[in-house]
Structures are given as structure tokens and as C-alpha cells.
Structure 1
Amino acid sequence: MTEPVHVIGGGLAGSEAAWQLAQAGHPVVLHEMRGDVMTPAHRTDRLAELVCSNSFRSGDAERNAVGLLHAEMRALGSLVMAAADGARVPAGSALAVDRDLFAAEVTQRVSAHPRIALVREEVRAIPPHWADVIVATGPLTSDALAAHIQTLTGEAHLAFFDAIAPIVHAETVDMGIAWRQSRWDRGSPDGDGDDYVNCPLDREQYRAFVAALLAGEKMAFKDWEHVPYFEGCMPIEVMAERGPETLRFGPMKPVGLTDPRTGRRPYAVVQLRRENRAGTLLNMVGFQTKLKHGEQVRIFRTIPGLARAEFARLGGLHRNSFIRSPVLLDSWLRLKADPRIRFAGQITGCEGYVESAAIGLLAGRFVAAARAGRPLGPPPPETALGALLAHITGAANPETFQPMNVNFGLFPPVDGAGRRDRKAMMTARARAALQQWIAGSGGQAGGAATPEPAARPALPAAAG
């Protein structure tokens, strides 16, 4: 087919989907509204801009499901993973990136691809004459397109709160109090175990900090008051409301760290992770917040080592939306009510940068295979890609469906595996299943579903 595939949204999922299609030889029009219309969370018009953390989480492909997902995406030629590897900054065993270098690389490679046309415009409704469409507009889908999607699906969107952590200028941290160390001294593979900056708190300082969080003035969101928080990005003051010691067992846990001034583990700790390659910016790990900006500066400067901290960005809160994918989408990410339309990324209810890009990768490959007339079944559920896809397209309970990161709980169980060797057996099984899937172009390895039906239903007369 010479008619282009229309990909709506230039985030991680949309950029990955467009790349996979173009690399497979298909023309793509990538529609990105930033540059014309901005969102409440973005700062630039670059593709794949990271608006929250700069971390892609664990890079351990042997013991961690998201690390396994990294490896599977690399095996399938992921643009996002290539750009992340090129923009990597020290972060222990995690894969963290310089967000500006990362977005610049994705933008440059997509913009330079001869089969991708990047159009800066807001798509408010999907025209009925577009034959193949991938909606990858993310959790910040514009109001107009969200209303159009609601018309197509016949359902209201689900929504949840997402929060952003502050970023500190590294030179303003008092290193006479703070020190560099990764937990258990497990630094980056090419580092020396000191990828994080740690600010220690004793018992009295910790309790005073928690009291200040609870008393601090918060941003008001009256229109969203019934929207739940996503557990993985919960504001620290909301965690503190669950109990005075909650933060010590969450983002402020001191395990694996030793204060060199005392030779002992502190009562609590605030960790700062490198935000850019130069190391001039540090992200306050796990410190998503809905405190007002003035309150953030006042309260966070009470943390030992941050008394003179200057902030490159303060925390914030925004509303995210996603569709009820287990009901609305089939196993190939097609909208059941209009199969020419597929969804990808966080709008499908997957959570996390890597997961979002992974679903974009699959959406792009599914469209490419359908256009080429070759069968392609979903990846086996024993793989990280297949487990994540199965969760959002049917395995999850539609009535309680909430955004979720990839985890080993989504994988089929391993027979006869003990607690200690379960993850190793799952990753070994996943690698074998992925290689079979790649070799067989999506054959039945590992119990994969049957190839996508080739027939396309008649297009609707109108779209929204």
C-alpha cells in the first residue's frame, strides 16, 4: 500500500510505532500537536520528551521484568532503547538518561527518516478515509480527540493523577552533609557505586519533615477530586498521610546506605539521581508532589544538604487518561468498534516509559505485517512483550482495570520453580520464546494467538 499509516502522537509510543513501520518500508505520517498546541506537562516540542522521571528503571534482564523488556525491545530494533542507551547517565543498575539528549536523538532520527513525514498539528478527530491509524496520544490526549474517542468507543475515559518530582541544581547541594553512594554500593556497570547523592535525616528531622509535608499548602484540583492516584507516582504527602513511617519504607528508605560522617545507616534518606549526562541536574527520587511551588522550596530546603538548593524544575500534578483496553481492544491492539484504528502507549493502560514504547513497537509491527500480507501473531505470553500485551487486551479484569507496569506477576507461572530460581527460569523461558517468535514471524511458539485476520471491515461513514 502506498497510502501512509497515520500515527497520532509523537511521544515514546508514537515515535516507536512510526519507526518500526518506516523501517519495514511503509510510509508514515506522524502527527504531533506540540509545536502548535502544548500540554500541561511538556516543556518542549521534541518527540519522546520525558515529562516525569528520567529513569527507564532496572536494566537487569535476568531478575527484573522491565530489564527483560529492555532486552526484548533491543532484539526487535527499538528506536527508543537505542536512544536511551546512547543518552545513558550513571544510575546504579537502573537505566536513566539525559532527557534532553534522549529526546533530541529520537527527534533527529525520526525527522530524518525518508519514509516519515512529521506534521505539527492537533488531530481533533480521525477522518473516515484514513485506512490505518495508530492512536498514541498518551495520557495527555487533547480534549477534542478524547471526546472523539469516547464517541467511537461508547465509553467514558478512565483517569488517574500523575505527579512530577522536582529537579535540583547539583552545585547547590551541600556535599559536606550529603554523600555519594548507591544502595549496597551497586553502581552502574562502568561506575564505582556512587551514582546517587544521599541527604540523611535523623529521627527528629524526619518527623519534622513529615509534619511539614502534611501541613504544607497543596494545589487544589476540585474538578478532579474523584480521580484516583496511580500508586507508582503517588505524591509524597499522600504517602505520608498513610502513616508517619510510610516514607521510611518508601522513597526515603535508608537500607543499603552508610553515612560516612557517622559510619551508620541514617534514620531516613532523600536520594538524588543524576538527571543529565553532565551531572549538573539531580532528580529528587520518588518526590512527586502536589505542594504549591512556594511550599516545595520552603519544605524541601529543610532536608539536610538542601538548605541552599536551587530548583531547575519544581514538582507538579496533572490528570492522565486511558481507555478500558481489555474491553475495547483485540489482541492486535485494534479497536473492536473500528478495526482500522489501533491504540498504543499509555492511553492503553500500560504504565511507564518502557511499557509505552513497547506497545508502540508492537502496534507498528502489527500494522506493517498486515500491510505486507504476512501473518503475525501476538508475541508469546511467556515473553515480557506478550505478557504486557495480554494484560491490557484481555487478561486484566475490566471492572478494576488500572495502569500497571510490566512485572513477573503478569507471566504464566513456571512449573516446579522455587522462589529463588523462579525469575531466572522465567527469563530463560522468555528468551527462548522470543527467538521462536522472531524466527517464525509470530508463529505459535509459547501458545501465541492465531495470526491477525486479514479481512478489514468496511469503514464507518463518519468518525465522530
Structure 2
Amino acid sequence: MADITIIGGGLAGSEAAFQAAEAGASVDLFEMRPVRKTEAHETDNFAELVCSNSFRSDDAEYNAVGLLHEEMRRCNSLILRCADANQVPAGGALAVDRDGFASAVTAAIEAHPNITIHRSEVTELPAPGTNAIIATGPLTSGALADAIKAVAGNDELAFFDAIAPIIHKESINFDIAWFQSRYDKPGPGGTGKDYINLPFSEEEYNTFLDAIIAGEKTEFKEWEKNTPYFEGCLPVEVMAERGRDTLRFGPMKPVGLTDPRTGRRPYAVLQLRQDNALGTLYNMVGFQTKLKYGAQAEVFRLIPGLEKAQFARLGGIHRNTFINSPKILDQTLSVKARPSLRFAGQITGVEGYLESAAIGLLTGRFAAAEARGAIISPPPRTTALGALHYHITEGHVDGGKGSFQPMNVNFGLFPEMETPRIDDEGNRIKGKEKGRARKKAMSRRALVDLAGWVAA
């Protein structure tokens, strides 16, 4: 029997398995695909991305998720290593060729001498006392979900998450569309022309908006009707219904973009981001949808430049599950009522690819420490890893009663610090620059404190 049993081969499970194996522990990794498929996955690879192909901003100085990227790189993250190796242009974001990325993660897991892979469905929790990690994510199979609920109590929570469509580049009308990043900002490996932009006049925007609102949408089952959406990944139809300018000031904002046909900023813009290394597929940025398949093709072909769009994948919506972690988990992400059983990934109440993998990284290290009879402390709260850890273990003073919700990493989760008054060049920091200076100082503090934690 291996030192650690891990159930689930997604981002969190793969990262947890790799971290534990690198620490010298033997790992049994269980993944039910291809024995049992899910509603969202298309391949048998580990760490398959089912929604966006973007890990969001890679700016480690002024953005909390970019800081999380850098912290994970410094912790020998498998997910970041494979993401960096399969990067596609995306301005200041870290986006990947989703097939190349998942294949790289799968190859690394298969090649690791300390990891044994089991392609079979697990329908019950490991026996009490087993050093185990549950990283089954939002698409946990029914029998195992019931077993988890029995351990987690009646505080199991859920929300809806959505997927954006992917388009074949060859079907885009480049008499209308053009390449440009906002403010021509190039990202790593980019040129400042990393996105395809589709412009709207005011009339075109209003026609499109009316079509979205009127389009036929997926109906929820009776037991799903009280399930909320995750605010960080709302379906486009929900945003449209909140007001006629919500999209135009959200995913369709035109700032920093100039239509080369007119030399002016459009009324609204839909951006497409490269989805594979070949540059043949592009996804609709921010356009998660619950429109039915037939309606999607009809509505989205109203977008200027997509009149003859061919879709490699249409959008969809699925139900995600997360536990009341502040009430259930201890400092090592172990279930308080059942030591040695840990949870990792989105099920713990973090939202986002990298946030899920980050909790997998921590859980793998905690489990490996337990396997060798050691104890490691959580990362400092001043780090992105520590801020996420604190959010899901004790971030709510009421123990999570009714208020605990999934969260992306953000500087609001970090301990406060005084804003610097002088910049690196000795100049006084004024006005709007104070916010950026504070974020930069918090990022610097995080990396210094992370180095101490890693060394310890």
C-alpha cells in the first residue's frame, strides 16, 4: 500500500501527487476517466482544462494571481512548469495550448517513479486512518459525492459554473476583425497583438444584447433552482439581464483598443484569445454561456466578424460543489473529525485553475510530511499561498456559517500593510500610484516571506 492515496487527476490532484512524490512519498493516484466519463471532459489526460485556457494575469508585481504563479514556480509546481512550456500568446496573461498542457502533465505523472496510476472509479472514501487526499473537483461522481457529504455534514454547498465557446480561426472574417492587445501591451512571448477583436457599433451591440436575452437557455432541474452562480464566472446572459451596459463595461469593454478601419475606439468589443499552440482555435473571452446549443450558433453569428463562425466547442454550464472548509478543515487541510483525510482543489472553496492547483500543492506537502512523521507549518499569510490557505481554514470569524463562498486569490485576502511613500527612484508616491505601490510592496513582502517558508 502506498504512503498516500489521492483520488482525482485534475489540476489539484496532479499537483498534490507530484508534490508528495517529489518529497519521497509513494502515491496511489486514482482517476475514473476513461472508465467513467464526465459531462465536461473530452480526453483521458490529467489536468484537462474544461473551461478557459487562461491562468489569468502573469504580472507578479501588481496582480495577486500573477504573484501566485511566481510563488508556485518557486515551489517547483508541476502545473506551472507545464503551463510555461505550453504557453500561447495572451497579452499579459498566462494562457496555454490546452491539449499540450494536459499531455505534458500526464507524461510527468506517468513517468514519476513514486506515482502509481489507477484508472478506476472510486465510490467510497478510503478507510479511516488512511493518509488520503480527495481532489475530485466539481464533477465528483454520485456515489463518492454522497460519501463526501456524509463526512462534510449538511453544509455541502454548490454553485453553477459555465464554459465559453471555441471558434475555428479560419471561419473569422478579418475584413472586420483585427489583432491587438489592450493598449498594445505584449505579454510573455507576445507581440502586443495577441487577441482577435470584434467591434460593435451601438446599434449592433443593442441588437446582439436583445438576442442574448431572448435566446433559449438551459433549464435547471427542480433541485438545482436554488443553486447560485459563481460571481467570478457569470454566464453572459446573466450579465446581460443586469443592465444594458453591464457587458460593455465588463467583458466587452473597448478601452485600449482602436478599430483600424475607423481609427477610433468601438462602442463595444468582443475579444478572442488563442486556445492552442497552432493558433487555429480561439475562445470567446468572458463569454461563458447557458444558451442552448442551437441558440448559441444563431446568436453568436450576430457578432461582427463571426457571421460564418464554425465552433470547435459550444459553451455549457455545470454544477460545482464545495465544502464548508473553515468549519470542516484544520490547518493541514485535514478533516477535523477524520484526521489524515484531506481535501484539495476547487472543492475546498477556491475558484480558478491556479488556486485549485495551489491547494493541491499545499495538501500534497502536508500529506507527505505526515507520511514521514514530520510537521510543516502553513505558508505565511503574507504570501498568496498563505492567503488562500487562510481563506479556506479560518478566514471567516463565524466559522463559515452561511457566509463562506468560493474565492479567487486577491490582495483583499492579504494582511494589510502601510503604503510606501517613496518609490524605488526616491520620488514621492502620489494619488492613483499609491494603490499600485501598495500592491508592489505586498508582492515583494510575499516573495521574501515565501523564501523563508520554503527554506524551513
TM class by shorter chain equals over 0.9
User: Which residue type is aligned with residue 277 of structure 2?
Assistant: R
Q: TM-score, normalised by structure 1?
A: 0.93
Cα distance in 2 between the residues matched to 1:154 and 1:221: 25
Cα distance in 2 between the residues matched to 1:12 and 1:44: 14
Residue of structure 2 equivalent to 1:421 = 437
2:450 maps to 1:434:
yes
Residue of structure 2 equivalent to 1:454 = none
Structure 1 residues 420 and 25, CA gap change in structure 2 (3 angstroms): closer
Cα distance in 1 between the residues matched to 2:38 and 2:151: 23
Contact persistence 1:88–1:97 (CA under 8 A): yes
Residue of structure 2 equivalent to 1:380 = 380
Encode CA deviations 1:354-399: one digit per residue, 9 max, x unaligned.
0000000000111112222333100000000000000011113512
Structure 1 residues 106 and 420, CA gap change in structure 2 (3 angstroms): closer
Residue of structure 1 equivalent to 2:429 = none
Encode CA deviations 1:78-136: one digit per residue, 9 max, x unaligned.
00000000110000010000000000000111011111111011111113266200000
Residue of structure 1 equivalent to 2:427 = none
Q: What secondary structure sits across from 1:254 in the alignment?
A: coil
Residue of structure 1 equivalent to 2:406 = 403
Contact persistence 1:6–1:130 (CA under 8 A): no
Q: What secondary structure sits across from 1:386 in the alignment?
A: helix
User: Which residue type is aligned with residue 433 of structure 1?
Assistant: D
2:50 maps to 1:47:
no
Cα distance in 1 between the residues matched to 2:376 and 2:79: 22
Residue of structure 1 equivalent to 2:237 = 237
Q: TM-score, normalised by structure 2?
A: 0.95
Residue 221 of structure 1 and its aligned partner are, at CA, apart by: 1.0
Unaligned runs of 5+ in 2: 421-433
Residue of structure 2 equivalent to 1:184 = 183
2:274 maps to 1:274:
yes
Structure 1 residues 146 and 156, CA gap change in structure 2 (3 angstroms): farther
2:351 maps to 1:342:
no
Residue 154 of structure 1 and its aligned partner are, at CA, apart by: 2.1
Cα distance in 2 between the residues matched to 1:299 and 1:85: 35
Cα distance in 1 between the residues matched to 2:113 and 2:189: 36
2:122 maps to 1:160:
no
Residue of structure 2 equivalent to 1:103 = 102
User: Which residue type is aligned with residue 212 of structure 1?
Assistant: A
Matches within 5 A, 1:234-313: 234-313=234-313
Q: Which moved more, 1:415-424 or 1:383-392?
A: 415-424
Cα distance in 1 between the residues matched to 2:317 and 2:181: 28
Residue of structure 2 equivalent to 1:8 = 7
Unaligned runs of 5+ in 1: 441-464
Residue 167 of structure 1 and its aligned partner are, at CA, apart by: 0.1
User: Which residue type is aligned with residue 158 of structure 2?
Assistant: A
Identical aligned residues as a percent: 61
Cα distance in 2 between the residues matched to 1:270 and 1:61: 26
Cα distance in 2 between the residues matched to 1:83 and 1:323: 29
Cα distance in 2 between the residues matched to 1:76 and 1:189: 21
Residue 152 of structure 1 and its aligned partner are, at CA, apart by: 1.5
2:209 maps to 1:210:
yes
CA RMSD of aligned residues (A): 1.1
Cα distance in 1 between the residues matched to 2:147 and 2:370: 25
Encode CA deviations 1:12-51: one digit per residue, 9 max, x unaligned.
0000000011111111000001111111111111100000
Residue of structure 2 equivalent to 1:169 = 168
When the two structures are aligned, how many residues end up with a matched partner?
A: 439
Residue of structure 2 equivalent to 1:391 = 391
Cα distance in 1 between the residues matched to 2:123 and 2:391: 29
User: Which residue type is aligned with residue 266 of structure 2?
Assistant: P
